[in-house]
């Protein structure tokens, strides 16, 4: 009897755990801006993801058994298997250095897109091929096996890291978040990426006004009054899998508020809203760290990178760096009262 013939219920349960941990750590990796935290979470994510590779021989036995009995839900299972191949393939390609963009799409964008669709398919698959956990599943033996799978996952992860380092692949240079350097001090080389359905709008610079709202006052500021002289050197770390270090020039939000509507007497947060409707909410106490930038590396921003003005939010991932800012509003609602990731 082959070592994999014992495959069955517990293999499926192990995959369920691994998928959940991989999805959770993946989402967390996008949420954290702090390098030390990112390093641990991203490594944990890589190990969890590679545990799927470790479990593949056992799952293949389960799948072959299932495929011999054609039943409704089979198409979903096969589509899920294809998506998992794409997820692991793009994940490893990204980690080694083949991060793209290819035809305007990065390996990481495909990775996350496929992971979101796979999660929905996995939910259907688990629903139609229900597996019932048993009391006996919580045993010393299961714990040892789980440890062995995790250990093998960690070995595989170390092997990808060692390959990148020994073969001097671009992956060896990536940041703690996993992102690859693209166009530092050379903004023209930075990829233009938007969150989901967001798009580069057409903005007439002469008609453009920034609306600033606080304490019941609202002021429309022309672009000529937004060219500040504060320079901040900060890392734009895009969740598309790349990062760039740039000198951003503009006006700090605390100064913008003070010189337009006056330092707010009430309110807890700042809503920064794009011309496209895209928005993020920040704590008011961060106003001194947030910059409304009109220039990058000494040149005006390009339309793709947020002209006329974009937000620079140091130590936060790219989706916080609202582009094409149309409105800055001080509000009472707490900053955490918003979806962790933008919905559009």
Q: What residues make contact with ligand HEM under the rule CB under 6 A? A: 12-13, 15-16, 19, 22-23, 26-27, 29-30, 42, 45-46, 49-50, 52, 62-63, 65-67, 69, 73-74, 77-78, 80-81, 84, 87-88, 91-92, 94-95, 108, 111-112, 115, 122, 125-126, 129, 131, 157, 160, 174, 178
Q: How far is the CB of 89 from ligand HEM (least distance, A)?
A: 9
Nearest 5°: phi and psi at 190?
A: -75, 130
**CB nearer ligand HEM, residue 68 or residue 202:** 68
Nearest partner of 13 among 108, 105, 142, 190, judged by Cα: 142
Bridge partners of 243, per DSSP, are 181, 237
Task: Answer whether 214's CB lies under 8 Å from 264's CB.
Answer: yes
CB of 265 to ligand HEM, least distance (A): 39
Residue number, 122 or 322, with CB nearest to ligand HEM: 122
Nearer to ligand HEM, 156 or 284 (CB): 156
- Which residue, among 173, 175, 152, has the nearest Cα to 164 in the 3D structure? 173
Task: Supply the minimum distance, in Å, between the C-beta of residue 212 and ligand HEM.
Answer: 33
State which residue, 31 or 275, has the beta carbon closest to ligand HEM.
31
Q: Which is nearer to ligand HEM, 87 or 293 (CB)?
A: 87
* Least separation in angstroms between CB 324 and ligand HEM: 24
Q: Which is nearer to ligand HEM, 10 or 252 (CB)?
A: 10
User: Minimum CB separation from ligand HEM for residue 101, in Å?
Assistant: 15
Nearest approach in angstroms of CB 191 to ligand HEM is: 15
Instruction: Kindly state the smallest distance separating residue 108's Cβ from ligand HEM, in Å.
Output: 6
108 versus 328: smaller Cβ distance to ligand HEM = 108
CB-wise, 35 or 220, nearer to ligand HEM? 35
Q: How far is the CB of 7 from ligand HEM (least distance, A)?
A: 9
């Amino acid at each position: 009897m082959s070592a994999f013939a014992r495959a069955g219920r517990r293999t499926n349960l192990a995959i369920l755990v691994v998928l959940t941990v991989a999805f959770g750590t993946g989402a967390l990796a996008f949420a954290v801006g702090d390098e030390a935290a990112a390093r641990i979470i991203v490594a944990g994510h890589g190990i969890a993801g590679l545990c799927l590779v470790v479990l593949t021989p056992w799952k293949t036995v389960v799948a072959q058994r299932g495929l011999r009995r054609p039943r409704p839900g089979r198409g979903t299972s096969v589509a899920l298997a294809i998506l998992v191949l794409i997820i692991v393939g793009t994940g490893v390609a990204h980690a080694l250095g083949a991060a793209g963009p290819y035809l305007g799409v990065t390996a990481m964008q495909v990775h996350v897109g496929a992971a979101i669709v796979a999660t929905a398919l996995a939910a259907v698959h688990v629903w139609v091929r229900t597996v019932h956990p048993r009391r006996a599943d919580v045993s010393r033996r299961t714990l040892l096996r789980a440890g062995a799978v995790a250990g093998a996952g960690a070995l595989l992860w170390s092997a990808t890291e060692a390959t990148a380092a020994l073969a001097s692949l671009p992956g060896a240079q990536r940041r703690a978040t996993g992102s690859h350097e693209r166009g530092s001090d050379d903004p023209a080389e930075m990829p233009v990426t938007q969150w989901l359905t967001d798009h580069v709008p057409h903005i007439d610079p002469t008609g453009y006004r920034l609306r600033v709202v606080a304490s019941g006052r609202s002021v429309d500021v022309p672009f000529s009054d937004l060219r500040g002289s504060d320079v901040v050197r900060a890392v734009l770390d895009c969740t598309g899998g790349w990062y760039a270090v740039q000198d951003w020039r503009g006006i700090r939000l605390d100064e913008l508020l003070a010189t337009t509507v006056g330092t707010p007497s009430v309110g807890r947060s700042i809503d920064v809203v794009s011309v496209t409707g895209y928005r993020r909410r920040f704590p008011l106490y961060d106003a001194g760290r947030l910059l409304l930038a009109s220039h990058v590396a000494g040149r005006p921003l390009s339309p793709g990178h947020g002209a006329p003005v974009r937000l620079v939010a140091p130590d936060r991932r790219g989706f916080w760096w609202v582009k094409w800012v149309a409105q800055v509003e001080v509000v009472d609602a707490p900053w955490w009262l918003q979806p962790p990731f933008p919905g559009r």
